[in-house]
Amino acid sequence: MTKNITPYKNSKRGKKQQITKMFDTIAGEYDSLNRVISFGIDIKWRNKVVSLVKKKKPNNILDIATGTGDLAINLANTGAKKIVGLDISKGMLEIGKEKIRSKQLSDVIDMQIGDSENMPFSNESFDTITVAFGVRNFETLEKGLKEIFRVLKPGGIFIVLETSVPKKIPFRQGYFIYTKLLLPLIGILFSKDKKAYSYLSNSAAKFPCGEAFNNILRKVGFINVKDQPQTFGVATIYKASKK
């Protein structure tokens, strides 16, 4: 399981503490390197998530592992009255807050520091919950998903955008060449944290994608679980709801 994959193998810290340190370190470079790594396609994927959310016309949204707020900012286009962005990295949140101020969205988006596996929210608080490229960083995947289920309102939707491994040839082979060789090289050349991008590629490759993740969602209690592979399967959008 992904909980055993950590950024710093020789560290005595738990995964959660290591993830916090990693994202605090790379916060300043994260947005620009993200565009390079995904060739900018991640913007298209986030827009698809926003389109799915907009159909539900939510009053309030929780964006978990919000990072620098890219998805939270895009979700303002749904017309939601309140959006909460939650993340454990203070460094990522500070950059996100500045982006939100510059777009004059501070009245709509509230960035909060917090643990996605132990959230400071009451049961059934949010109409919609989203996570983009964050669930594979949970220390205990099932525990984090149970917390999400707890704070989601009945009838609400949960949408996940996460990396996945293509199934078809030659995309599968190309994916492994890129993630195992080129992605770590980008980290070595351009990142302040040389191990961060090796971790990101390793955790993506080991994440239980597709039907395996669908089954975990069902086990937690979600219904109407569907997955939508994106761009030859290098990412997947998962949609589920609460009865």
Look up the pTM and report it. 0.93
Which pLDDT belongs to residue 184? 75
Task: Determine the residue type at 154.
Answer: P
> Can you tell me the distance from the alpha carbon of 83 to that of 68, in angstroms, rounded to the nearest whole number?
14
Confidence of residue 181 (pLDDT cuts 50, 70, 90): confident
Ranking 32-41, 166-175, 184-193 by mean pLDDT, the lowest is: 184-193
Whether 3 shows a pLDDT value over 60: the answer reads no
Tell me the CATH architecture of domain 2-164+208-241.
3-Layer(aba) Sandwich (3.40)
Average pLDDT (65-76) is 98
- Listing DSSP states for 148-207 in one string gives HHHHEEEEEEEEEEEE----STTHHHHHHHIIIIIHHHHHHHH-S-TTHHHHHHHHHHHS
Which tops the pLDDT comparison, 176 or 42? 42
Which pLDDT belongs to residue 195? 83
Query: Rounded mean pLDDT of the chain?
Result: 93
Whether 201 shows a pLDDT value over 70: the answer reads yes
Which pLDDT belongs to residue 95? 97
Which pLDDT belongs to residue 1? 41
pLDDT tens-place string over residues 78-112: 999 999 999 999 999 999 999 999 999 999 999 99
Which pLDDT belongs to residue 4? 67
Longest dimension (CA), the chain: 48
Domain ranges of the chain: 2-164+208-241
Task: Determine the residue type at 87.
Answer: D
Whether 2 shows a pLDDT value over 50: the answer reads no
Which tops the pLDDT comparison, 20 or 35? 20
> Can you tell me the distance from the alpha carbon of 126 to that of 140, in angstroms, rounded to the nearest whole number?
22
Q: Is omega for the bond preceding 166 within 30 degrees of 0, making it cis?
A: no
